[in-house]
Amino acid sequence: MTQTLNHLFQELLDAESIFKNKEVLRHSYTPDVLVHRDEQTKELATILVSALRGETPSNILIYGKTGTGKTAVTRYVGKELENMSEKLNVKCTVIYVNCEIIDTQYRLLANLARHYGEEIPMTGWPTDQVFQKFKEAIDAEEQVLIIILDEIDKLVKKGDDALYNLSRINTSLKNARVSIIGVSNDLKFTEFLDPRVKSSLGEEEIIYPPYNADQIRDILYQRAEMAYNPGVLDSMVIPLCSALAAQEHGDARRALDLLRVSGEIADRQNEHKVYEEHVRQAQDKIEVDRVVEVVRTLPTQSKLVLFSIVYLTKNTDRSKKAITTGEVYMLYKKLCKIVDLDILTQRRITDLLSELDMLGIINSAVVSKGRYGRTKEISLAVSENSTYEVLLEDYKLSQLKDLQLKIGYF
């Protein structure tokens, strides 16, 4: 048995991979050269350079949609700044925090304090005590501390106390200076902020526009050179990835995913080269994965609503008019009885439908049909069969497997 397994893995290892270094295509990777982001890089560096003179740089807010290079540029500049400060013998520290993971004031402060070797328990201490510890730790010597808060909007949603305290920290420090860089992909998130925090944080603002197809193409060429062995990419692969990603509002992350998954698919098919066809398959796979993930994590009620829509799509003939809210609600009520769920009001279902629309799982539009009222016309935006499968995975909904028998006439 062991021998067979050894053999098995040996074979797979020996098979020549088309990848040279796949890590380069992951989101977490920060390249040494950032293509098409010179302007933003320079702007950020110009603001931060005062740290090297021992002054406090302005606080900065950085906006831009996903995959526009915000994080990459910020991390890159941070790294360079630290390198430079070492050379110049100026004490300057950059701490990167991803607020999606560290999303409460307590965890944030504990995390920062731990950077300075403070022992903070996961829970239990009063928040201001942790804050105090942190202040003492950084104030121990003269230095400039730059805190990068990535996905800062996530932190704000749980209250802006953390930001309020942090933005005022300088007033109670003797030696150290702190400046904050907030990175957000939500342009409007400052609306939820206390005006004082808002003005303090937003001393400088940098906006990252989406990449266009040409720019994405350049980025991909740069990464592909590091990620793939020479000559394994068909000439159409990168232009196609760029074009597809440019349609998704210039998301470079999406483009890198496409490029990586295309390679993985080709690899799995034992091809020695990646072709256009693989990119198309990758596109489908990414989309399916996304939908599966979204649908699987839906609340049960939403799943049931979605199930109703899938059922209606499957069981009404195409020529018939689109599905309406009323139809969905009628079926939904019946299904609720079968699977033993509370029946929500139609008002609530309207909201659930809007959410599904926002998630891109269904398309809906309000249409007036004159005498016959006004309603949402609903259609499924994703593959009905794979959605159906995923929905049946739910413990409650699994009872709906052989539905025809149970509601028959519908």
Partner DNA sequence: CCTCCACCGGAACGTGAGGAGT
Partner DNA sequence: ACTCCTCACGTTCCGGTGGAGG
Q: Which one among 31, 159, 209, 360 touches DNA, defined by CB under 7 A?
A: 159
Region 107-136 residues binding DNA, contact defined as CB under 7 A: 126-127
366 binds DNA (CB under 7 A): yes
Q: Which one among 34, 343, 359, 392 touches DNA, defined by CB under 7 A?
A: 343
**Using H for helix, E for strand and C for coil, what is the string for the chain?**
CHHHHHHHHHHHHHCCCCECCHHHHCCCCCCCCCCCCHHHHHHHHHHHHHHHHCCCCCCEEEEECCCCCHHHHHHHHHHHHHHHHHHHCCCEEEEEEECCCCCCHHHHHHHHHHHCCCCCCCCCCCHHHHHHHHHHHHHCCCCEEEEEEECHHHHHCCCCHHHHHHHCHHHHCCCCEEEEEEEECCCCHHHHCCHHHHHHHCCEEEEECCCCHHHHHHHHHHHHHHHECCCCECCCHHHHHHHHHHHCCCCHHHHHHHHHHHHHHHHHCCCCCECHHHHHHHHHHHHHHHHHHHHHCCCHHHHHHHHHHHHHHHHCCCCCCCEEHHHHHHHHHHHHHHHCCCCCCHHHHHHHHHHHHHCCCEEEEEEECHHHCEEEEEEECCCHHHHHHHHHCCCCHHHHCCHHHHHCCC
From residue 375 to residue 404, what is the string marking binding to DNA with x (rule CB under 7 A)? xx----------------------------
Instruction: Choose one: 73-81, 137-145, 264-272, 372-380; the region binding DNA (CB under 7 A).
Output: 372-380
**CB nearer DNA, residue 194 or residue 218:** 194
Cβ burial of 152 (10 Å; 0-12, 13-18, 19+) is buried
299 binds DNA (CB under 7 A): yes
360 binds DNA (CB under 7 A): no
**CB nearer DNA, residue 148 or residue 156:** 156
Region 193-252 residues binding DNA, contact defined as CB under 7 A: none
Closest distance to DNA from the beta carbon of 348 (Å): 3
**CB nearer DNA, residue 22 or residue 334:** 334
Closest distance to DNA from the beta carbon of 126 (Å): 6
Closest distance to DNA from the beta carbon of 330 (Å): 8
**CB nearer DNA, residue 70 or residue 107:** 107
Q: How many CB atoms lie within 10 A of CB 405?
A: 7
Q: Which one among 371, 395, 402, 409 touches DNA, defined by CB under 7 A?
A: 371
Q: Which one among 40, 59, 74, 301 touches DNA, defined by CB under 7 A?
A: 301
**CB nearer DNA, residue 338 or residue 343:** 343
Closest distance to DNA from the beta carbon of 155 (Å): 12
Q: Which one among 226, 327, 359, 399 touches DNA, defined by CB under 7 A?
A: 327
Size of the site for DNA (CB under 7 A): 34
From residue 78 to residue 107, what is the string marking binding to DNA with x (rule CB under 7 A)? --------------------------xxx-
Q: Which one among 372, 402, 405, 409 touches DNA, defined by CB under 7 A?
A: 372
- Residues that bind DNA in the complex, under the rule CB under 7 A: 104-106, 126-127, 157, 159, 299, 301, 324-327, 342-348, 350-351, 353-354, 366, 368-376
